[in-house]
Structure 1
């Protein structure tokens, strides 16, 4: 998968991923690139059906292992149907969450350990982002940004869960420092994007 680029955005809920993804898409298209936006869980018809099951607040009885397997199943379909073909065709794929989310939320948040990486190894089939932007805000700040809108099953988890997820992201940034760029997302939208643009330009020039 060397013809195009695969970019992922990560962060706790309320970190501002959607806003920055939209700005990056606009910037890249203005620069002449064909951009594919996608998200996880989801991104395909099958994946969106899986998403509705995972995030449904009525599914409180879902076990941690079931959750992890459903995320991986959605991802496997997503890689096969969308990500790999688009990158092979020379497009830039920008994805709202990818495998780092599973490690942060299921390995660290759910305390499932290394099995999360093992099952997702099959799901991604060697497909990894060229660059990952980790938008960093503390969970309490992200929660405030979400405000009063209806929360999904994951967003409804308690404070300790979201703090464990945040620590998971911190560990991932340290482990994969050559790929994951930590961005201070407590700043203004324009300040955040200026830094993202700088890293993106560097990747495209290389």
Structure 2
């Protein structure tokens, strides 16, 4: 069976990307596609353990350098145990965040580590999504939405709106850098309007008959 389709969702905290990833997975499954919905950090047992380490606790718990190593370790386990087997089986993989988030959080906004991020990615991961959907959201509105969730995983939200503003600008720059696979979608609208644009953007990448 041929290689499947790898789709990632990116955006600042509270952008709605997780909701849109879930909605897309449900749509495609209803149409008969074989879909794996996963997330980062996480998506495999080992990576989920690392998720708790990096997303919980005080903002200064880890340096950007330590975070980079932890996220890369989680991504490698995720790739080996979830993403690559699904792609090899011809499935559609929808991932809530992937390496572009590390390029932003650790490579740009938390430290001048972009070169290290890309070097580790090339050595340890080696693949990019076929399509990356960037849900673009006003930073203040996104942060307010993220904080309203009131979960234990708020370490990055606790850095405040300044980080979110840097992240948004960085993601938009990244969309220009990787224009072949990035598509920017306005997230400052209703869930249904955003979902309609997500699906219209994806359609050219899908086979016209369900798997």
Q: TM-score, normalised by structure 2?
A: 0.91
The match for 1:197 is 199
The match for 1:179 is 181
Hey, what's the Cα distance between the residues in 2 that align with 1:58 and 1:104?
20
Hey, what's the Cα distance between the residues in 2 that align with 1:107 and 1:196?
27
**CA-based RMSD:** 1.7
Hey, what's the Cα distance between the residues in 2 that align with 1:63 and 1:19?
29
Hey, what's the Cα distance between the residues in 2 that align with 1:93 and 1:122?
22
1:11-90 aligned at under 5 Å gives the runs 11-58=11-58, 60-90=60-90
Q: Give secondary structure in 2 for the equivalent of 1:25.
A: helix
Q: CA deviation at 1:205?
A: 4.1
Deviates most, 196-205 or 42-51: 196-205
Q: TM-score, normalised by structure 1?
A: 0.94
Deviates most, 147-156 or 13-22: 147-156
Hey, what's the Cα distance between the residues in 2 that align with 1:147 and 1:43?
23
Note if 1:164 corresponds to 2:174.
Answer: no
Q: Give secondary structure in 2 for the equivalent of 1:60.
A: helix
What stretches of structure 2 of length at least 5 have no aligned partner? none
Hey, what's the Cα distance between the residues in 1 that align with 2:88 and 2:97?
20
The match for 1:3 is 3
Q: CA deviation at 1:23?
A: 1.2
Hey, what's the Cα distance between the residues in 2 that align with 1:105 and 1:25?
26
The match for 2:135 is 135
The match for 2:121 is 120
Q: C-alpha offsets along residues 93-151 of structure 1, whole Å, 9 cap, x if unaligned?
A: 10000000000111111122311111122232x22111010000021110121243145
Hey, what's the Cα distance between the residues in 2 that align with 1:95 and 1:43?
9
Q: CA deviation at 1:60?
A: 2.5
8 Å contact 2:6–2:93 — kept in the other structure?
A: yes
Q: C-alpha offsets along residues 24-81 of structure 1, whole Å, 9 cap, x if unaligned?
A: 1111112211111110001111101111110122463311100111011100111111
Hey, what's the Cα distance between the residues in 2 that align with 1:104 and 1:59?
16
Question: How many pairs were matched up?
Answer: 205
